[in-house]
């Protein structure tokens, strides 16, 4: 999972430790940093597990509210620096893993589990627009920019997609370039093509 950090220093400089939890998605601290000694509150616990899939291993992390992370196994997980306490639990991630397996088996088109999306207001807008793309369909970056009412912000939309912490479920793989080509994807173009093929969304230049 990648956490955005740009523009943080100026905001955090004047913040007290009691404000830092509002920036948990944007701010890294050493794993052994004890937030409770500075705020009087316990660190939030995230449960995580690793699952196999047809596109490679995936890392799943959940809070009490829902899915926080679904990440390709491309970097150490959980991250070394974080504001969270991490606990491995196949049991608490089972609901999420089960529905993902059904999706990969072609038995599920929509996920029913809750999401706990964490990001900036603009990122959340973009990610919610991604969630509105139906299974089997694609949209362009320009389409998403118009959906969030910022029609000239297609580059910023691309950056928000790149920061998406919940791959597949928040379907940034359904976003393509305006010329109809696949364009980039954090999991790699081969994975993007496989996901779109699974969903029956490959057509024209995409299928070439």
- What is the per-residue pLDDT across 156-204, written as a single tens digit (0 to 9) for each? 999 999 999 999 999 999 999 999 899 889 999 999 999 999 999 986 5
- What is the per-residue pLDDT across 13-62, written as a single tens digit (0 to 9) for each? 333 333 334 333 333 444 444 444 445 567 899 999 999 999 999 999 99
- Do 136 and 65 lie in a common domain? no
Query: Considering the domain boundaries, does residue 110 fall inside one?
Result: no
- Do 13 and 96 lie in a common domain? yes
Query: Considering the domain boundaries, does residue 3 fall inside one?
Result: no
Quote the distance between the C-alpha of residue 17 and its chain's center.
26
- Do 49 and 127 lie in a common domain? no
Domain closes at, from 51, 76, 104? 104
- Do 90 and 149 lie in a common domain? no
Note the pLDDT of residue 205.
54
Query: Considering the domain boundaries, does residue 99 fall inside one?
Result: yes
- Do 14 and 96 lie in a common domain? yes
Domain closes at, from 104, 133, 167? 104
Domain count within the chain: 2
Measured from the Cβ of residue 59, the count of other Cβ atoms closer than 10 Å reads 21
Task: Give the domain CATH number at 195.
Answer: 1.10.10.10
Q: pLDDT at residue 127 above 50?
A: yes
Q: Which of 103, 101, 130, 99 is nearest to 113 (CA)?
A: 99
Query: Considering the domain boundaries, does residue 2 fall inside one?
Result: no
Task: Give the domain CATH number at 36.
Answer: 3.30.160.70
Query: Considering the domain boundaries, does residue 112 fall inside one?
Result: no
Our answer to whether residue 126 is catalytic in this structure is no
Query: Considering the domain boundaries, does residue 115 fall inside one?
Result: no
Taking the model in full, what pTM does it have?
0.79
Cα–Cα dist 85/62, whole Å: 12
- What is the per-residue pLDDT across 102-112, written as a single tens digit (0 to 9) for each? 999 999 999 99
Query: Considering the domain boundaries, does residue 66 fall inside one?
Result: yes
Query: Considering the domain boundaries, does residue 109 fall inside one?
Result: no
Note the pLDDT of residue 187.
92
Show the domain range for 75.
Answer: 8-104
- Do 128 and 87 lie in a common domain? no
Taking a C-beta distance cutoff of 8 angstroms, is the pair 147, 129 a contact?
yes
More confident residue, 80 or 97: 97
What is the token pair recorded at 146? Answer: 């118009």
Note the pLDDT of residue 206.
58
Cα–Cα dist 118/86, whole Å: 17
- Do 129 and 87 lie in a common domain? no
Residues 81-100 as b or e (16 or more Cβ within 10 Å = b)? ebbbbbeebeebbebbbebb
Phi-psi region of 28 (alpha: psi -120 to 50; beta: other; left: phi over 0): beta
What is the token pair recorded at 30? Answer: 């050493």
Active-site pick, 133, 172, 195, 202: 172
Please identify which residue in the block is written with the tokens 């893993």: 97
Taking a C-beta distance cutoff of 8 angstroms, is the pair 187, 167 a contact?
yes
Q: Which of 32, 28, 29 is nearest to 2 (CA)?
A: 28
- Do 132 and 202 lie in a common domain? yes
- Do 90 and 16 lie in a common domain? yes
Residues 6+ away with beta carbon under 8 Å from 198: 104, 106
CA atoms within 13 A on the CB side of 131: 15
């Amino acid at each position: 999972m990648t956490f955005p950090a740009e523009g943080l220093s100026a905001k955090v400089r004047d913040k007290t430790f009691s404000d830092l939890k509002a920036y948990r998605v944007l701010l890294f601290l050493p794993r052994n940093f004890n937030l409770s000694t500075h705020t009087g509150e316990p660190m939030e616990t995230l449960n995580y597990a690793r699952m196999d899939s047809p596109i490679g291993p995936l890392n799943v992390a959940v809070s009490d509210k829902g899915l926080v992370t679904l990440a390709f196994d491309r970097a150490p997980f959980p991250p070394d620096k974080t504001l969270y306490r991490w606990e491995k639990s196949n049991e608490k991630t089972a609901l999420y893993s089960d529905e993902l397996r059904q999706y990969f088996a072609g038995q599920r088109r929509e996920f029913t589990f809750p999401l706990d999306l964490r990001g900036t207001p603009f990122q959340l807008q973009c990610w919610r627009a991604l969630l509105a793309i139906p299974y089997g369909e694609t949209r362009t970056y320009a389409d998403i920019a118009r959906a969030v009412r910022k029609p000239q912000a297609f580059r910023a939309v691309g950056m928000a997609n790149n920061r998406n912490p919940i791959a597949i479920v928040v379907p940034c793989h359904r976003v393509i370039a305006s010329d109809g080509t696949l364009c980039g994807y954090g999991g790699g173009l081969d994975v993007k093509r496989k996901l779109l093929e699974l969903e029956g969304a490959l057509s024209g230049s995409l299928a070439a």
